[in-house]
Chain A
């Protein structure tokens, strides 16, 4: 399962390749171009921050990278598979096994307990003994004693931890996070940040995250800046 001993692995193999990605939405009278000719490549085990002003198209890009949506033009190849050529169910199967998400607004199911929320992707992926795995993960994010609480009974930071536990549950090869600390205070944001980085290290997961938080962006190996739907080719290596 988790490989605590190994450090971040980075190979030169590309896990995600994007070519000439364009996304337009039809607004009845005219069409709005959200993304225009975006190309990029992300290597296995890499951590990448996507930054940009509000409304520049970050969330849209993340959704396309993760196969939650299909682009108007261009190609997204995730683990050697061209996402737009897959059927909806094939994309779903890919997400179930290989991809994790953390949303800015947590997206936990209000009727389910913390434990049940974390079990959900495990059950969908037919994981053996989902409950034990979910307990372990909640313990890992420091919520071992809040298993039966529903999201309403948890603070924002606690809810985000549940969401992170859920995202790492199926040991994804790539994790997408959309402003994971955006709704949290500095201190809590810091803790969530640590948690994400630690899990990234432990599981060797590739991390792609949208953030406004400079310290978080700075901790990533690479930074991509989006400006009005275009990718600025700025590239920074960090330790």
Chain B
């Protein structure tokens, strides 16, 4: 066969209905996966950028109690195309007016901040501005409360060490607000070049040098590769994913996007599978004809390979043509919702899954049945023998399913996700097989009649093969969509629970034991009750089971908790949001033992029974681990790695107290009164951080909704594709029923009922399978506890029944509009 002949046959193919269905399915598949993958990767970039403002950069390198970070490192980063900035943080006394005040200084270079903006006010009465640069040399910006505390004005001078600085504005908020229980004094921002002139920093002073980096992810990774061997233990490399408060939310959002993408891959392959299988099975007659025309099996196989390849290519091209404009539109929409500029980037790696999905599912589902037709004698192909079933169909499907899950795994690289989805689908098909069998037993006795219900049930029974496979596809589609819906609702619920209204947004730290009662009384008078008060002792973890920690825990695992002092506490009862995962909480008179936070325990490789040694000032203590518990780091409440029982090992050691409380924006003046009355208590304002987190979580939520909407649209398209696969048979049947005297209303009602019932059944199965998949996913990927989602799950079967009934009505439309005569002519 010459090439032109092959092309000729492809062109002829295009006029065939089955082929059109396959091509449309391919286009839909490529478009859906491409849109979701592109959009998801764009969202991810956007979220990371927006969250990166928390670090004022993409990465931070901190040197605690350290020497300045070598300038060559920044040089190297710049050579790699990264932006850099420099920052020095220290606490010192500042004098202004007639007063002195301990302040926490942040001295920044011109490039600061690399991500996010500084919120600035010219003076107390002017509007807030967003600036991309800190103060110039010789100037300082002060926290507005500090200005009131010192009773000075903008334009006055303040002294830091030997250096006089002009107050040129008010620092309302810095992007990297930080949440560190260490430095708590009011903030002052100045220029990094002025630091030396103050003379405050000497050998051994407590100062933190920070370098900021921003740029392409690949360049950042490359730089870190270069940097890693040069780092010392006091150096800490941080990305936004490591930050406590946001990282969990971001990780979950990323996983959600991944899940969404994987589900898109599965949905797409279902669509292509249905269409190409339908095509392949419909090729029996053609293959028989070709055989009778004397074509060899080899050539027939070859011919189909060429055709499938051509369609594959056409599907890809068509899919991309659809995907790119839609993606552009979504991008615009997102830019408007998030009120920020979002570049139109098409990254090729995001397109790979789309293309691979289309091709793999096309060949996996269409080729094996066609290949098998080659071995069947022409006569048997022309008329199937009584009782002959397509016995090899199951092995075909098994091969194809393995191929598809391979794809998902390649895409997601997350074993648990694949296992959960496979598990859900297997559970689904198993239940369906059982239910189908029961249903057939039940329906066998029903005979049709002029009654729509009976006709619908008879329809289900008589088309049992088609009905069951359609229900299976609907149920799979619904399961995938429901999985996403369920995960979305539990994510959103978790996030809402995490930072509810009136989340404590101020911390009081360093409360001396003697003033605890007075502090408590002060705030009660203000009408703002305090949360639980916790004692806090600062100490280092030095030994595990009598061995120095450094030897036990290898240096490569950079365990953050080892690099700094830990906050140790004692408490009688377990905080509400903590959960014991091993061992038991302290008994009522128990005085020995320590409870360790679960992630740290895992990093250290310790378990209940291991003995931990701590150095606190000059004292050392050692206690066995009696329980391991999880902590909600995102809760913005005081959280502790190590908790001892009251009267335990910490008894008698110098402790201060810590607590948190909620203060609304308009009551902030109370803070000044408080600091004047209790000058030694440190106050940490995290209200702005909480606002930022809430804003970012809001963005993430919108992103999730967008992906969900895309997936739902794709599901609808897949269902419509499945319905249209049997369109012709159904229309022929409708025409014949009308010819035989069926009333239109009977036809409409019975069809809608039949489809509605199928949809309801598929919906119930899909939701059950989704719940089991979510159970598995929740467990491994999204943390959090599994709960039934009745309010979300219940409507799904109803909606699916309704949608399918409408689809059934829709496909019947041509049957009702024209005379039966014309219909029969058309269908002949």
Give A residues with C-beta under 8 Å from B.
60, 63-64, 68-70, 88-89, 92-97, 99, 101, 103, 105, 107, 109-112, 116, 119-121, 123-126, 130-131, 149, 152-153, 166
Contact = CB atoms under 8 A, between A and B. Distances in A.
Given A116-B462, A124-B450, A92 B742 contact: yes
B468 to A, nearest CB: 12
Contacts of B743: 89, 92-93
Interface string B442-456: 000001111000110
A119 B449 CA distance: 10
Given A70-B819, A123-B448, A123-B454, 13 more contacts: A68-B819, A69-B820, A69-B821, A96-B741, A101-B740, A111-B462, A111-B463, A111-B733, A120-B448, A120-B740, A124-B449, A124-B740, A130-B447
B820 A152 contact: no
Contact of B386 (A112, A130, A149): A149
B820 A68 contact: yes
A123 B451 CA distance: 9
Contacts of A92: 738, 741-744
Contacts of A119: 447-448
B384 interface: yes
B740 A95 contact: yes
A64 B822 CA distance: 11
Interface in B742-786: 742-746
Given A63-B821, A110-B729, A126 B450 contact: yes
B824 interface: yes
Contact of B383 (A121, A131, A152): A152
Contacts of B458: 123
Contact of A94 (B385, B386, B741): B741
A109 B819 contact: no
A103 B824 CA distance: 10
Given A70-B819, A153-B386, A107 B741 contact: no
Interface in B269-299: none
Contacts of A88: 744
B791 to A, nearest CB: 39
Nearest to B828: A105
B384 A152 contact: yes
B522 to A, nearest CB: 82
Nearest to B818: A69
The 4 closest A-B pairs by CB, nearest first: A96-B741, A123-B448, A69-B821, A63-B821
A112 B462 contact: yes
Given A116-B462, A130-B447, A153 B741 contact: no
B693 interface: no
Interface in B707-742: 729, 732-733, 736-742
B25 to A, nearest CB: 22
A111 to B, nearest CB: 5
A107 B824 contact: yes
Contacts of B448: 119-120, 123-124, 130
Interface in B799-828: 819-822, 824, 828
Nearest to A88: B744
B337 interface: no
7 contacts: A89-B745, A93-B743, A95-B741, A96-B740, A107-B739, A111-B466, A123-B450
A96 B742 contact: yes
The interface centre, meaning the residue of A92, A97, A107, A152 with most chain B CB atoms within 10 A of its CB, is A92
B389 to A, nearest CB: 12
Given A89-B743, A105-B828, A153 B462 contact: no
**Interface size bucket, B side?**
35 or more
Contacts of B732: 107, 109
A89 B819 contact: no
Interface in B636-673: none
Contacts of B736: 107, 109, 120
A124 B737 contact: yes
A125 B462 contact: no
Nearest to B386: A153
Contacts of B821: 60, 63-64, 68-69
B15 to A, nearest CB: 21
A168 to B, nearest CB: 13
A68 B385 CA distance: 35
A67 to B, nearest CB: 9
Contact of B447 (A94, A123, A149): A123
A57 to B, nearest CB: 12
A107 B447 CA distance: 21
B436 to A, nearest CB: 16
Contacts of A97: 741
B447 A131 contact: yes
Given A109-B733, A111-B729, A116-B462, A125 B741 contact: yes
Contacts of B741: 92-97, 99, 121, 124-125
Contacts of B744: 88-89, 92
A97 B741 CA distance: 8
A116 B736 CA distance: 13
A237 to B, nearest CB: 30
Contacts of B449: 123-124, 126
B691 to A, nearest CB: 62
Contacts of A121: 740-741
The interface centre, meaning the residue of B448, B733, B745 with most chain A CB atoms within 10 A of its CB, is B448
Contacts of A152: 383-384
Contacts of A112: 462
B822 A123 contact: no
B82 to A, nearest CB: 66
Given A105-B828, A119-B448, A125-B450, A68 B739 contact: yes
A130 B447 CA distance: 8
Contacts of A105: 828
Interface string B414-450: 0000000000000000000000000000000001111
A63 B826 CA distance: 14
Nearest to B746: A124
Interface string B382-424: 0111100000000000000000000000000000000000000
Contacts of A166: 740
Contacts of A70: 819
Nearest to A154: B383
A60 B455 CA distance: 31
Nearest to B385: A153
B732 to A, nearest CB: 7
A116 B448 CA distance: 10
A227 to B, nearest CB: 21
Nearest to B461: A116
Nearest to B448: A123
Contacts of B465: 111
Contacts of B384: 152-153
The interface centre, meaning the residue of B383, B454, B738, B740 with most chain A CB atoms within 10 A of its CB, is B740
A108 to B, nearest CB: 9
A236 B448 CA distance: 44
Contacts of A120: 448, 736-737, 740
A113 to B, nearest CB: 8
A70 B465 CA distance: 37
A64 B383 CA distance: 35
Contacts of B385: 153
B386 to A, nearest CB: 5
A130 B462 CA distance: 15
A115 to B, nearest CB: 11
Contacts of B462: 111-112, 116
A88 B822 CA distance: 14
Contacts of A149: 386
Contacts of A95: 739-741
A99 B742 CA distance: 12
A89 B816 CA distance: 11
A159 to B, nearest CB: 11
Contacts of A101: 739-740
A189 B815 CA distance: 32
Contacts of A93: 741, 743
A116 to B, nearest CB: 6
